[in-house]
Amino acid sequence: MTPKILVFAGSIRTGAYSGQTADAAVKELAQQGAEVTRISLADYPLPIMDQDLEKEKGVPENAYKLGRLIDAHDGVLIASPEYNASIPPLLKNTVDWLSRLSKDNGKTLRPWAGKPIGLCSSSDGNFAGIRGLYHLRAVLMNCKADIITQQCSVARAQDAFDEKGGFRDDRTRGMMEAVCNSLIERARLTSTRVGA
């Protein structure tokens, strides 16, 4: 079974290190045999999460579109930057809106629940965005996502990538290989259980 993995970055800034990390993950996942879909959150703009807005207008259609896309994949890989030692607002807002989904045309739609998710981070410093992943992991676990243990954190990201978009450092390359391998295996296992 070829697992379908969705990949996106937690930043939409031009030249974002998280975008480069997501691109490196796409290559590694494909090399390990996954069918990969790479998207940008820029294509799914959402207002700031507001329960008054939700009560008045309902959950935005872009949240449903993204929720359906996540639901259609066997696993997700998120590459996140770190803002003030925590989750960037774009990504937090996206996670929050998707957590409001429950039904879609009469069918259950809880995109995070039970979904295998691999996490990567990047920053221009030595902490490599690890502090942000700690919070992201906690939030997604609260949404009942199945977060794999391995993660890839890219330190000094301004110097981490070669001209082909790969990692210069063997240690970082090894972390990416490990997180992608674990995500693929978990996605296969979960998909088999669902299809049983």
H/E stretch holding 46: none
Give residue-wise pLDDT tens across range 40-50. Answer: 999 999 999 99
What average pLDDT does this structure show over 61-76? 98
Spatial strand order of the sheet with 4-9 comes to: 35-38, 4-9, 75-80, 116-122, 146-154
- pLDDT number for residue 127: 84
Give residue-wise pLDDT tens across range 79-107. Answer: 999 999 999 999 999 999 999 999 998 89
Q: Select from 121, 132, 117 the least CA-distant residue to 160.
A: 121
Output the CA–CA distances (angstroms, integers) from residue 137 to 86, 146, 166, 169, in the order listed.
11, 10, 25, 25
Cα–Cα distance between 108 and 82 in angstroms, integer? 32
Chain centre distance of CA 77: 4
Give residue-wise pLDDT tens across range 19-28. Answer: 999 999 999 9
Exposure of 81 in the CB half-sphere (CA atoms within 13 A): 21
Tell whether the model's pLDDT for residue 126 goes beyond 90. no
CATH superfamily, domain at 4-195: Flavodoxin domain (3.40.50.360)
Strand partners, 183: none
- pLDDT number for residue 105: 86
Q: What is the DSSP letter of 48?
A: P
* Domain ranges within the chain, ordered by starting residue: 4-195
Q: For the ranges 8-22, 117-131, 138-152, which has the lowest average pLDDT?
A: 117-131
- pLDDT number for residue 173: 97
Tokens of 141: 């676990």
Residues in the chain: 196
Tell whether the model's pLDDT for residue 196 goes beyond 50. no
Give residue-wise pLDDT tens across range 152-175. Answer: 999 999 999 999 999 999 999 999
For the entire predicted model, the pTM comes to 0.95
* Alpha helix (H) residue ranges in 117-195: 130-142, 170-195
pLDDT band at 193 (very low <50, low <70, confident <90, very high): low
